[in-house]
């Protein structure tokens, strides 16, 4: 699969990581991981390689090990070989590297050298993460292809979804298009949430009870929130659109949708090298807070409403996260930064200055979350700041989120998912 150009890029990645590790004579083992058995059966979960292994080797095979000998400045890939018996049941595994059986002997030859397991060693992980945040040409190409698969799925939604369809019908119709367009799998379980379900940030099909999956039917005039994306070449795409189905949006739907869109557009415009992510996030909360004030759901002054946590009742999550080999990618918190306890920032997955080469999602939202709005302690704490009588009719409204994937460049933000339309109404 890997051609000469990609081998050159992979080798350059390994060189950069090695320089960051700054080792003397240690051995580093980067393992791909093993397939996991399913409880109570002889089946296995689908395999996903450890992203550090995938990044450094360009391969996604189970039970493989990429080893580095710092004394010799030498990398060696070890891969499993399938037996004739295995081959009765499965196609032969790609014979990558030298046979895995040789790993033990390879280590035994290096008696004086300390063995570092990449999974357990923060210094080794930090060195890889510091490189993974900057995407090279090979990665950008995979990320663009992943976004293209997502576009096919969302286009299907725009052309086919109507009131009366179940969440399941919408999900499988959309995912079929991801796969037709080349996606290897979905980048994460697709969130297809109708009406009130849109308020669950990580709502997905069958989550509550795998034996009794959701069959909720989309009603005319309800919001449909879809957060989904295809994965290509190991790289994720992560896109959210929210639309009203089968009717003209109400004034409130339309107003809140525009507030989320403008929060997103303002944030995307600031996705430039040197910008502090936490500041962009807090400004997105101010935009959303101002919208909630204007609609009469909050009272007071916007900075105070952000710092008290009143805005976080309606926008509890972070503005976005790095994207790459995993949908919530490595490197969000550089050394020395810890997650904050600020009520508006405690779920921030990234807190760092942006740098060219990063990919980040930008995904503000507004939700009416029953667990927060129905809590007597919350209602008491925010008695002054939240206009509870005005919020009451919006319980059950669901949520609105709009999300795109942004490539940070010196020339300004490049929106990888920009071809995916943002209709406020479909069907």
Nearer CB in complex with Mn ion: 26/238? 238
Nearer CB in complex with Mn ion: 58/365? 365
For the bound state, the minimum distance from the C-beta of residue 30 to Mn ion, rounded and expressed in Å, comes to: 27
Residues 7-26 that bind Mn ion (CB under 5 A): none
Q: Determine which residue in the list 324, 361, 368, 420 makes contact with Mn ion, applying CB under 5 A.
A: 361
Q: Determine which residue in the list 167, 238, 385, 404 makes contact with Mn ion, applying CB under 5 A.
A: 238
For the bound state, the minimum distance from the C-beta of residue 261 to Mn ion, rounded and expressed in Å, comes to: 16
In whole angstroms, what is the distance from residue 325 CA to residue 276 CA?
Answer: 23
In whole angstroms, what is the distance from residue 130 CA to residue 254 CA?
Answer: 41
Q: Does 150 bind Mn ion (CB under 5 A)?
A: no
For the bound state, the minimum distance from the C-beta of residue 188 to Mn ion, rounded and expressed in Å, comes to: 8
* Bridge-based pairing state of the strands 98-99 and 115-117: unpaired
Nearer CB in complex with Mn ion: 26/403? 403
For the bound state, the minimum distance from the C-beta of residue 238 to Mn ion, rounded and expressed in Å, comes to: 4
**Does residue 356 sit in helix, strand or coil?**
coil
Stretch that binds Mn ion, among 16-24, 71-79, 257-265, 357-365 (CB under 5 A): 357-365
Distance of CA 48 to the CA centre of its chain: 15
Orientation of helix 251-269 relative to helix 277-294, angle to 10°:
160
In whole angstroms, what is the distance from residue 357 CA to residue 131 CA?
Answer: 10
Nearer CB in complex with Mn ion: 52/238? 238
Stretch that binds Mn ion, among 21-29, 178-186, 238-246, 337-345 (CB under 5 A): 238-246
In 81-166, alpha helices (H): 84-89, 102-108, 122-132, 137-160
Angstrom distances, CA of residue 13 to CA of 57, 84, 134, 335: 9, 35, 10, 21
Cα dihedral across residues 384, 291, 343, 280: positive or negative:
negative
**Does residue 95 sit in helix, strand or coil?**
coil
For the bound state, the minimum distance from the C-beta of residue 124 to Mn ion, rounded and expressed in Å, comes to: 27
Q: How many C-beta atoms lie closer than 10 Å to residue 356's C-beta?
A: 14
Stretch that binds Mn ion, among 27-35, 152-160, 360-368, 380-388 (CB under 5 A): 360-368
For the bound state, the minimum distance from the C-beta of residue 417 to Mn ion, rounded and expressed in Å, comes to: 11
Stretch that binds Mn ion, among 5-13, 56-64, 117-125, 355-363 (CB under 5 A): 355-363
Stretch that binds Mn ion, among 202-210, 258-266, 274-282, 356-364 (CB under 5 A): 356-364
Please tell me the count of residues contacting Mn ion according to CB under 5 A. 2
Q: How many C-beta atoms lie closer than 10 Å to residue 119's C-beta?
A: 14
For the bound state, the minimum distance from the C-beta of residue 140 to Mn ion, rounded and expressed in Å, comes to: 18
Please give the sequence-ordered ranges of beta strands (E in DSSP) within 341-391, or none if there are none. 359-362, 365-367
For the bound state, the minimum distance from the C-beta of residue 405 to Mn ion, rounded and expressed in Å, comes to: 8
Helices (H) and strands (E) in the chain, counts: 13, 17
> Do 113 and 142 meet the contact criterion of CB atoms below 8 Å apart?
no
Nearer CB in complex with Mn ion: 177/238? 238
In whole angstroms, what is the distance from residue 123 CA to residue 100 CA?
Answer: 25
Nearer CB in complex with Mn ion: 242/361? 361
Q: Which residues bind Mn ion (CB under 5 A)?
A: 238, 361
């Amino acid at each position: 699969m890997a051609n000469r150009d990609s081998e050159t890029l992979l080798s350059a990645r390994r060189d950069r990581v090695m320089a960051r590790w700054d080792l003397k004579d240690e051995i580093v083992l980067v393992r791909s991981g093993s397939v996991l058995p399913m409880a109570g059966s002889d089946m296995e979960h689908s395999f996903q390689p450890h992203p550090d292994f995938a990044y450094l080797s360009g391969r996604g095979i189970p039970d493989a090990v990429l080893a580095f000998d710092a004394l010799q400045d030498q990398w060696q890939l070890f891969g499993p070989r399938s037996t004739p018996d295995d081959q009765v049941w499965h196609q032969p595994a790609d014979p990558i590297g030298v046979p895995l059986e040789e790993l033990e002997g390879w280590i035994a030859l290096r008696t004086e050298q300390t063995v570092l397991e990449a999974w357990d060693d923060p210094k080794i992980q930090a060195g890889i993460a510091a490189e993974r945040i900057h995407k090279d040409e090979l990665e950008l190409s995979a990320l663009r292809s992943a976004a293209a698969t997502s576009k096919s799925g969302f286009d299907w939604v725009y052309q086919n979804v109507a009131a009366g369809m179940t969440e399941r019908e919408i999900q499988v119709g959309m995912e079929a298009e991801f796969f037709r367009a080349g996606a290897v799998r979905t980048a994460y379980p697709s969130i297809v949430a109708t009406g009130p379900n849109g308020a669950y940030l990580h709502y997905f099909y069958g989550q509550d009870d795998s034996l009794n999956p959701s069959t909720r039917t989309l009603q005319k005039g309800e919001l449909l929130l879809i957060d989904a994306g295809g994965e290509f070449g190991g790289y994720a795409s992560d896109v959210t659109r929210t639309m009203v189905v089968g009717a003209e949006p109400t004034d409130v739907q339309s107003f809140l949708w525009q507030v989320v869109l403008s929060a997103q557009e303002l944030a995307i415009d600031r996705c430039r090298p040197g910008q502090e992510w936490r500041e962009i996030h807090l400004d997105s909360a101010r935009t959303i807070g101002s919208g909630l004030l204007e609609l009469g759901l909050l009272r007071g002054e916007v900075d105070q409403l952000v710092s008290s946590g009143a805005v976080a009742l309606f926008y509890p999550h972070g503005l976005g996260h790095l994207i790459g080999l995993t949908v919530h990618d490595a490197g969000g918190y550089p050394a020395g930064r810890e997650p904050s306890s600020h009520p508006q920032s405690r779920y921030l997955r990234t807190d760092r200055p942006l740098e060219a080469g990063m990919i980040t999602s930008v995904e503000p939202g507004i939700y009416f979350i029953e667990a927060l709005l129905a809590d007597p302690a919350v209602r008491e704490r925010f008695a002054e700041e939240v206009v509870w009588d005005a919020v009451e009719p919006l319980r059950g409204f669901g949520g609105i989120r709009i999300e795109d994937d942004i490539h940070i460049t010196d020339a300004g933000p490049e929106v990888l998912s920009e071809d995916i339309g943002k209709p406020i109404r479909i069907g």
